[in-house]
Amino acid sequence: MHGWTGNMAIVDLSDERITVKKIDDQILQDYVGGRGLGVKIYFDLITPNIDPFSPENVLVFAVGPLTGVAPMSGRHVVVSKSPLTDTIFDSNAGGFWGKELHYAGFDALVIKGEADEPRYLRISDGEIALEDATSLWGLNVDEVTGKLQKYGSVACIGRAGEKGVLYANIMNDLTHTAGRGGLGAIMGKKKLKGIVVQGTQKPEIADLEAYKVALKEMVRLLEASPPVNKGLRVFGTSMLYDIVNYLEVMPTNNYQRSHFEGGSQLSGDYIIEHYSIESHGCWGCPINCKKRDKERGIELPEYETIWAFGPNLENGDYEKIVEANVKCNRYGLDTITAGSTIALYREITGEDYLDRIQEIGEGKVLTEGARIVAMKHNATKKSMDIKGLELPGYDPRGLYGQALSYATSNRGGCHLRAYLVAPEIIGKPKLIHRLNPADKPGLVVIFQNLSAAVDSLVLCKFTTFAMGEVEYSKLLSAVTGVHYRSEDILRFGERIYNLERLFNVQAGIGGEEDTLPPRIFEGENALSREIFQEMLREYYEFRGWKDGIPTDETLRKLGISQ
């Protein structure tokens, strides 16, 4: 076997039993790795109505056959049922942890049960041991990482995960995030403080010459892509700020407006002019889109964090955003949900918790996300969530494709299920009219399928600014020795998307939740409900779904058994 290791480790925290099993070759070929493999393993192990905090619930960590082999492959995926949304949920993280797990000899790691006392997991070249984490309990991410990094790459939770904050992240390599959805809270409930991994066994490549050809083409396309080479490499994701605000799709004051005045300090140009910037990135990345302040040695926020703690709170002070980002990374808090929940609470009560994020991290206030906070204050129409997951920093009222993608996302209000910002704003692979609903449903389906596939390889989403299914298929075929055509890439992405949808339907989450927050359909710049419903109807036709539910025929064609 090439690319894959074929191994899955299962750790039962309840009785501290550790086993290693082989993964069926057909499952690997059909679901590949990362998101796909994680979702398949989870679907086969868990009943959809499970309580996310039940000891019987599991966390699945998964890598792909390209992890630690191809450029921009330093990623891994964590899958479980979200305590924030009750949907099946995958969190995609960069850094070095995924490469180490792959080199340690595993495609997947399953965590089940619940420990009596705090534990951390230590993995080194196929050897797995549970260690006492009593001295680590109560510490934040930077402190835990400092104590464990001598053993390898560290993925851990901060105090937010321990306290059960429903949007607690699993942090790895200090600043890389398996974010959204609160999977860090599940680790906290299981009393698993962290997982440290070290591996030296690089997976073998099936066809080295074909791989070299595919690699050369990949590098050429990345270097030729302006958003990658001139944008992300120089500015990081803050490159998006000016154009999003200029096009008036910048959600402001909890989505009450779509343009932010007074945010000149938040643009990528301002940041690189006024800060001493040091670039860094994930394993094997030629772009290094992450930025830190070299003088202070602290991480600078990504675009979504700039938006969440900036325009969303009518805050134009970049330093306040930097400080909030540092606190979220230390405690292990999702910045999008944190900012959205604070914005909602601010609108309802007039109180602003931007300077009090540590209170959230300590589990004292606003721990349940926007939807539940809105329900408690009888203000559900003010919560900007879909299926319980708060919308990010792109206003769907001015981006019809992104609007449909948000609504039909299996994990809730997420821009990364299908990044229609690319064609609607950036012009990749080509610029399309953002306010024209024509052809958007079919395009959303393709983008969702491709996104699921890329998450399963596991490659960085930014490769889609330069590459397509043809390049992905050549790279995957060369590494694994399994012949994948370009249409196979979209096919296994479609299989993954439908399996996720099937899980949600069986959990009681159907097409009735494929909608947008009420505020999007109201006001001067509202999205027409009629236009949206027509796009949704056409989307279901493309999917082969009946009222948001995959038909038996669709599942049969994809080889999915219920």
Q: What is the pLDDT of residues 173-208, one digit of tens each?
A: 999 999 999 999 999 999 999 999 999 999 999 999
| DSSP state string for 140-174 | -HHHHHHHHGGGSEEEE--HHHHTT-TTBPEEETT
In angstroms, the CA 86 to CA 80 distance is 10
Residue by residue, what is the 3-state secondary structure of 237-285? HHHHHHHHHHCCCCCECCCCECCCCCCHHHCHHHHHHHCCEEEECCCCC
Q: Where are the alpha helices (DSSP H) in 362-399?
A: 369-376
Q: Within 13 Å of residue 293, how many CA atoms lie on the same side as its CB?
A: 15
Cis peptide before 286 (omega within 30 of 0): no
In angstroms, the CA 554 to CA 532 distance is 24
| DSSP state string for 220-231 | HHHHH-HIIIII
% the chain with pLDDT above 90: 98
96: Cβ contacts below 8 Å, ≥ 6 apart: 74, 153, 172, 173, 282, 283
**pLDDT of 562 higher than 80:** no
Q: What's the sign of the alpha-carbon dihedral 448, 450, 455, 456? A: positive
433: Cβ contacts below 8 Å, ≥ 6 apart: none
- Do the Cβ atoms of 131 and 191 come closer than 8 Å? no
Q: 36 has which bridge partners?
A: none
pLDDT score, position 284: 92
What angle (nearest 5°) sits at the alpha carbon of residue 430, between those of residues 429 and 434? 120
pLDDT score, position 524: 81
Task: Output DSSP code: residue 512.
Answer: G
- Do the Cβ atoms of 463 and 222 come closer than 8 Å? yes
Q: Where are the domains of the chain?
A: 7-198
In angstroms, the CA 111 to CA 61 distance is 8
Predicted TM-score (pTM) of this structure: 0.97
- Do the Cβ atoms of 397 and 520 come closer than 8 Å? yes
| DSSP state string for 65-118 | TTTTTSTT---EEEEEE-TTTSSEEEEEE-SSHHHHHHHTT-SEEEEES--SS-
Structure tokens at 281: 């990135």
- Return the CA Rg of the chain: 22
The beta-strand segments (E) located in 411-496 are: none
In angstroms, the CA 80 to CA 531 distance is 34
Q: What is the pLDDT of residues 484-508, one digit of tens each?
A: 999 999 999 999 999 999 999 999 9
**pLDDT of 523 higher than 90:** no
Superfamily in which the 7-198 domain is placed by CATH: Aldehyde ferredoxin oxidoreductase, N-terminal domain (3.60.9.10)
Three-state DSSP class for 293?
strand
Q: What is the pLDDT of residues 136-185, one digit of tens each?
A: 999 999 999 999 999 999 999 999 999 999 999 999 999 999 999 999 99
536's enclosing H/E stretch is helix 529-543
pLDDT score, position 469: 95
Q: What is the pLDDT of residues 262-282, one digit of tens each?
A: 889 999 999 999 999 999 999
Quick one: which of 362, 363, 360 has its CA closest to 308? Answer: 360
Structure tokens at 556: 């049969």
**pLDDT of 42 higher than 90:** yes
Structure tokens at 240: 């998006």
pLDDT band at 110, cuts 50/70/90?
A: very high
Structure tokens at 324: 């909030």
What is the average per-residue pLDDT within 297-309?
Answer: 97
Structure tokens at 178: 């398996």
341: Cβ contacts below 8 Å, ≥ 6 apart: 167, 366, 369, 370, 373, 390
- Do the Cβ atoms of 153 and 173 come closer than 8 Å? yes
pLDDT band at 561, cuts 50/70/90?
A: confident
pLDDT band at 217, cuts 50/70/90?
A: very high
